[in-house]
Amino acid sequence: MDKKIRKAIFAGSFDPITNGHLDIISRASKLFDELQIGVLINPNKKGLFSLEERVELINACTKDLDNIKVIKFQGLLVNYCRAHGIDTLVRGVRSEADVNYELQMAHMNKELDSNIETIFLPTNKQYSFVSSSLIKEVLKFEADVKHLVPKEVLIALENKTK
């Protein structure tokens, strides 16, 4: 009997990927045979990096994790999961507000596909305030974010904001 490969996806806009995201990715990668990082276009967010740049940055930042696959997609996450044999969504939560939002999303995803499970990983407390949006906001004021993003992202941010 063939052993089922445990696959999960951690999806987001990752514009840019932060150390908080990488913490969740690293921890989730230990729980699954394959962890896909789903990079999506969020029409509600103004992007700093193109979709291709975000994929490149994530690949660079996760190159030491051998069970990571970075993909890009549009549309409903549950449709992508159904088409690719993924039954678990990984979500990072930083605060009570995140839990409330993510719980609603988990319920909706379950309603759309009863085979989909969502697991929540609490963020490392040192990254509990970090978001891609906040990184972009403070960069407008030339703040030092080197301890909040991977070095590859810091270089890309410096090049992008020159």
**Is residue 82 annotated as a catalytic residue, yes or no?**
no
Domains of the chain (ranges plus CATH)? 7-160 (3.40.50.620)
Is the pTM value of this prediction over 0.75? yes
Active-site residue (options: 72, 94, 110, 160): 94
Per-residue pLDDT of the chain (162 residues; tens, 9 = 90+): 567 789 999 999 999 999 999 999 999 999 999 999 999 876 776 689 999 999 999 999 999 999 999 999 888 999 999 999 999 999 999 999 999 999 999 999 999 999 999 999 999 999 999 999 899 889 888 889 999 999 999 999 988 876
Active-site residue (options: 21, 54, 91, 136): 21
Active-site residue (options: 29, 54, 132, 136): 132
| DSSP string of 49-107, one letter each residue | S-HHHHHHHHHHHTTT-TTEEEEEE-S-HHHHHHHTT--EEEEEE-SHHHHHHHHHHHH
**Is residue 84 annotated as a catalytic residue, yes or no?**
no
